Amino acid sequence: MGSKTRIIILQMKEIIYTLVFVLLALLMIFLFIYMFFLKKGNKSAETASAPTYTPGVYTTSILLGEHPVSLEITVDTDHINRIVSTPLEESVTAMYPLLESCLEGITDQLTSGIPLDQVTYDDSSQYTASILLEAIGKALDKAAS
């Protein structure tokens, strides 16, 4: 009889181990679903709201040829107030005539509340606008963190 009892105990241990591993597998599947599928819905809701910034003046620079151009972006907690470039040298304004007008257009749109990725610009100033938007994006990333 002693040998039958041992066989039953070994079978019971196997059942317990199997149940523990099944529970761990179910827990891991639940965590996998939670981490990769349920979190995405929350992030899209957060990004739809207005971005929050640390109020202040943030600077970034652009290298146009050999001449650095500095941009100052002034932000509140949820709004871009002003974007200003440093006084440009005559050689920079001669080489990049659309820089000032393109910056004014972008500034008008951003200060009116349009998100950075929805800013529109003329096809004639596509290169200039992309440089400015990239620099403004870097400064806003500084303001957001």
User: Do 42 and 68 have their domain in common?
Assistant: no
Kindly report the CATH number assigned to the domain that includes residue 123. Answer: 3.90.1010
User: Do 136 and 70 have their domain in common?
Assistant: yes
Position 50 scores a pLDDT of: 64
User: Do 132 and 65 have their domain in common?
Assistant: yes
Q: From its phi and psi, is residue 56 left (phi > 0), alpha (psi between -120 and 50) or beta?
A: left
The answer on pLDDT for 48 being more than 70 is no
Position 89 scores a pLDDT of: 79
User: Do 41 and 9 have their domain in common?
Assistant: yes
Position 41 scores a pLDDT of: 54
User: Do 78 and 104 have their domain in common?
Assistant: yes
Higher pLDDT among residues 8 and 38, named by residue: 38
CA distance 133 to 129: 6
Whole-model pTM: value is: 0.62
Position 136 scores a pLDDT of: 92
CA distance 72 to 61: 9
Q: How many domains does the chain have?
A: 2
User: Do 20 and 79 have their domain in common?
Assistant: no
Q: Are 93 and 67 in contact (CB under 8 A)?
A: no
Higher pLDDT among residues 58 and 97, named by residue: 58
- Domain residues for the domain of 89 are 56-144
